[in-house]
Structure 1
Amino acid sequence: MAALTACGSDNNGGSASPANNSGSASTSASASAGASKEKVEISFMGHAEPNEKEIFTKLIKSFEEKYPNVKVNYTSVPPAEYDQKLTTLSAAGKMPDIFYTSGPAFYRYAEAGTILDIQQYLDQTDLFNPDNVWKQALDRYRYDGSQLGQGDLYGLPKDVGPWALAYNKELFDKAGVAYPPAEAGKWTWDDYLKAAQAITEDTNGDGKFDIYGAANFPLEGAVWANGGDYVDYATGTVKIDSPEFAEAMQWVADLTLKHHVAPSPEDVQAMNAYSRFIAGKIGMFPMGPWDQPAFWDLPFGWDLAAWPSSPKTGETSTWLGSMGFVISSKTNHPQEAFDLASFLSLDPDGQKQNMELGQAVPNLIDMATNDYMNNGKAPEHKEVFLDIVKEIGHPPVEYGSKNTEWLDTFNQDASKVWTGQMSAADWLKQEAPKLQELYDKGNK
């Protein structure tokens, strides 16, 4: 952090205009790389687990080879500490030149003018072909001065994060259950439950389950698939007290409370669900593309399936996450910061390396639908990821909020449902007015 702070202090405070810094935006990647021989240092901060940190260290080395006049001071902060660290640096006027952000933080920083409008740079580089980048990712980083999803780009997608359903083939084989289908709509919640019941097992006869059929079914996906939602962002109305929401939440809770096919909160305290899955003790578990490097080393076969559909609506849904690369509006080196962001987000060389290292589904559509689909590595049914990106994925609940105190409160208070203290319907009816007050306070 000392290196980051020093670099941030040296670089911050300058004009954000390209004309007053390191030259106008380049017309090509090669022109940009050779446009200036001045040696400059830029700071880049992200958050990562060890696998991702290692991958980004390699990517930055490749960037520095392509742009030899630029030295990148990379700092990786543990995910749980990242937001607070960024807030502290912002308050001190020492923001990194380029950093990760998404959702509410992106909204706040764009509104406050903390991050740079990069549209002028994108308009002048041939790296950017908007028809070849997932629209669902780009639109997360648009801001027109009043709302998200429209206007100029203030960031570039680090990734698209389809939250998919992974399954352990060996546990399905042992239970004599057919693998879940990759095509959405071919499996319902009832099918999911039956498979989970067949897989769940007490292997040593001590009266406690050692293998569970499922874990961590995402509440958001269940709610959206069942026709419910958390908030109507157009009107600012909290909508959790609907029958559709209650039905979905109770179904997810009952996987543990009634059917006992998923670990209880007490079980998770002893061993979290992720650790159980990689130990071969959970049949179905959610994963994102960033899990691929770790999953490639698993001692059992695994693949992806579509999330099951709600029997009520026939629809399936899950969330599509994304982090973005944004640039401080106070940087002295906006061109070099943009070069790094575009290398990591748009450059075919950077995207190819990122894909091969297993970090993400490529942002470039042609690479995702060709090279990625045919790279010979697990999962076999990669189209599940692409289907989520193209059709099924839904922005995370917090997207559209500037202040998420209402959602944090929801997640904390929801333990009353997960532990069986209250039914979903009763708790949601009680919780809705409280969340509406919090939402209004922080977002209107």
Structure 2
Amino acid sequence: MRTRTAAVALVAATALVLAGCSGGGSGGQSGDHKITFMGWGSPQEVSVFKDLIAQYEEAYPGVEVEYISVPAADFSTKLQTMIASKKVPDVFYLTPENVMPYAKSGIIADLSDYVSDNEIFDEANVWPNAIDMYRYDGTTPGEGAIYGLPKDIGPFALAYNKDLFAQAGVTAPDPGSPWTWDEFVAAAKKLTSGSGSDKVYGSAPYSLESAVWSNGADWLNADHTKVTVTDPKFVEALQWVADLGLKEGVVPSSEEESSLGSFQRFLDGKIGMMGIGPWSQGQFWDEASFDWDIMPWPVSPETRTQATWYGGIGFAVANSSKNQDDAANLAAFLAFNAEAQKTNMEKGQAIPNLIDMAKDDYLAMDKAPENKEEFLRIVEDYGRRATQTYTYNSEWFTVFNADVASVMLGEKTAAEYAEQVQPEMQQLLDEGIAEQGE
């Protein structure tokens, strides 16, 4: 942990970044340093980060950033290999699931001083949920020290193809009046048509988080110590999601998903509705040949409660970095600098971390979606962070997902699968709780 004297110096350096300096910067005090930054992303995201890094290097002419882009599927393995070989990147993407173990093992630095005690950065102007995903006080996630600065916050909204809706005579719900599940199914049936390569489905596979939470259930109990997937409300939601394909025929089968994913089907104009995050906007702007928008997630008829998840990736700074000042400045620049945030927003990669920019500049953009407010409503109102981010490890959640496809395929009922998988999930959850307390 750095001393208070060092922290003050670091905050002063960061203040220049957060003020949006262009040219000069603190290059003189940083010296000729090289730092590494490792992440993943689509070609559009890689292009955005090359631009942002160029902006940072202009502000800090004494610092050179080596940008390492790794395929998302390989990132975790590569990072673990680099950690084991003591060659951790100076700055790297941090998932909320890794905050607790990485903080406990000393892999990532405490960045609390970069979001407090300075005259430039207003913590009240950043989505609290975006920062809280990287807080940990040694016991409770979401509280205490900050071990990552938010790359973004990703509200998961329900997109729809406006052209297909018009052709099928379906009217999207008003933002404040979500459909019930029954109304969603009715609309999805109207949108489903054709066969073979011309098949159009009403919906992509539905968000299980949205269904489970809207039905008043969750994977774990309130203090995240007990697996609750056998709760009848959970089972009902899981079966409803599976039956969208098994009984209603309005979503692609698992086999069809394997041959052509719903994301591409949506871009091809052959999916009526699909869950998306803001990171998809840029690709939709470039590739979608139809009008699209987002709408509120449907609600369980039992509860009438809206629910969906928001995610995010953070920027972590390695405790082992030899140029920790420069690395922390890069993380702060990417997370908070107004010009960097504007670049990210205008290229369709994220809603801004800065609340005033999100509510002014972002909402005023003349690009889809028209109902941008829905993204903000999810962040401020009905979105939730994923349950597995509240536990020391997420192996219990991985086990749940390992064979949930058997329910989607109709090989097992939701009740059968929940009874089968619950004991192993509980064992792994207990092991994580014990490891956290060691």
Report the TM-score when normalising by structure 1.
Answer: 0.92
Query: What residue number does 1:74 align with?
Result: 67
Query: What residue number does 2:327 align with?
Result: 337
> Quick one: distance in 1 between partners of 2:218 and 2:114?
37
Query: What residue number does 1:42 align with?
Result: 35
Query: What residue number does 1:313 align with?
Result: 303
> What are the residue-to-residue correspondences of 1:200-215 with 2, within 5 Å?
200-202=192-194, 210-215=199-204
Identity value in percent:
42
1:410 aligns with 2:400: yes
Query: What residue number does 1:188 align with?
Result: 180
> Quick one: distance in 2 between partners of 1:322 and 1:70?
27
SS of 2:29's partner is: coil
> Quick one: distance in 1 between partners of 2:138 and 2:25?
29
Aligned residues: 426
Describe the shift of the 1:21–1:136 C-alpha distance in structure 2 as closer, same or farther (beyond 3 A).
closer
Query: What residue number does 1:86 align with?
Result: 79
Describe the shift of the 1:419–1:122 C-alpha distance in structure 2 as closer, same or farther (beyond 3 A).
same
Structure 2 gap segments, 5+ residues each: none
Q: Which letter does structure 1 place at the counterpart of 2:189?
A: Q
Deviations 1:319-354 (A, max 9, x none): 100110110111121211111111111111111111
> Quick one: distance in 2 between partners of 1:356 and 1:304?
18
> Quick one: distance in 2 between partners of 1:263 and 1:319?
22
SS of 1:193's partner is: helix
> Quick one: distance in 1 between partners of 2:311 and 2:12?
30
SS of 2:387's partner is: coil
Q: Is the 8 A contact 1:118 1:154 kept in 2?
A: yes
> What are the residue-to-residue correspondences of 1:96-135 with 2, within 5 Å?
96-135=89-128
> What are the residue-to-residue correspondences of 1:263-412 with 2, within 5 Å?
263-297=252-286, 298-412=288-402
| More divergent stretch after superposition (299-308 vs 260-269) | 260-269
Describe the shift of the 1:138–1:415 C-alpha distance in structure 2 as closer, same or farther (beyond 3 A).
same
Describe the shift of the 1:25–1:253 C-alpha distance in structure 2 as closer, same or farther (beyond 3 A).
same
Report the TM-score when normalising by structure 2.
Answer: 0.93
CA drift of 1:316 comes to 1.3
> Quick one: distance in 2 between partners of 1:85 and 1:370?
39
Q: Paired residue for 2:50, among 46, 57, 75? A: 57
CA drift of 1:434 comes to 2.1
> Quick one: distance in 2 between partners of 1:165 and 1:111?
36
Deviations 1:253-279 (A, max 9, x none): 010000000001121122111111100
| More divergent stretch after superposition (126-135 vs 298-307) | 126-135
Q: Is the 8 A contact 1:200 1:209 kept in 2?
A: no
Q: Is the 8 A contact 2:115 2:123 kept in 1?
A: no
Q: Which letter does structure 1 place at the counterpart of 2:206?
A: F
> Quick one: distance in 1 between partners of 2:5 and 2:74?
36
SS of 1:253's partner is: helix
CA drift of 1:111 comes to 1.4
1:178 aligns with 2:171: yes
> Quick one: distance in 1 between partners of 2:114 and 2:131?
15
Q: Is the 8 A contact 1:41 1:73 kept in 2?
A: yes
Q: Which letter does structure 1 place at the counterpart of 2:149?
A: L
Q: Is the 8 A contact 1:114 1:329 kept in 2?
A: yes
Query: What residue number does 1:5 align with?
Result: none
> Quick one: distance in 2 between partners of 1:264 and 1:141?
36
SS of 2:392's partner is: coil
Q: Is the 8 A contact 2:254 2:405 kept in 1?
A: no
> What are the residue-to-residue correspondences of 1:150-161 with 2, within 5 Å?
150-161=143-154
Deviations 1:380-428 (A, max 9, x none): 0000100000011111132112222211111112122111012112221
Deviations 1:233-288 (A, max 9, x none): 62510010001101111110010000000001121122111111100000001111
1:423 aligns with 2:423: no
> Quick one: distance in 2 between partners of 1:397 and 1:212?
29
> What are the residue-to-residue correspondences of 1:8-27 with 2, within 5 Å?
24-26=10-12
Q: Is the 8 A contact 1:186 1:308 kept in 2?
A: yes
> Quick one: distance in 2 between partners of 1:162 and 1:398?
17
Describe the shift of the 1:436–1:24 C-alpha distance in structure 2 as closer, same or farther (beyond 3 A).
closer
> Quick one: distance in 2 between partners of 1:331 and 1:111?
17
Q: Is the 8 A contact 1:111 1:146 kept in 2?
A: no
> Quick one: distance in 2 between partners of 1:84 and 1:72?
22
Structure 1 gap segments, 5+ residues each: 1-14
Deviations 1:76-126 (A, max 9, x none): 110000011111111111111111112221221111121111123333544
> Quick one: distance in 2 between partners of 1:428 and 1:221?
18
Q: Paired residue for 1:243, among 223, 232, 255? A: 232
Query: What residue number does 1:33 align with?
Result: 26
Q: CA RMSD in A?
A: 2.0
Q: Is the 8 A contact 1:16 1:331 kept in 2?
A: no
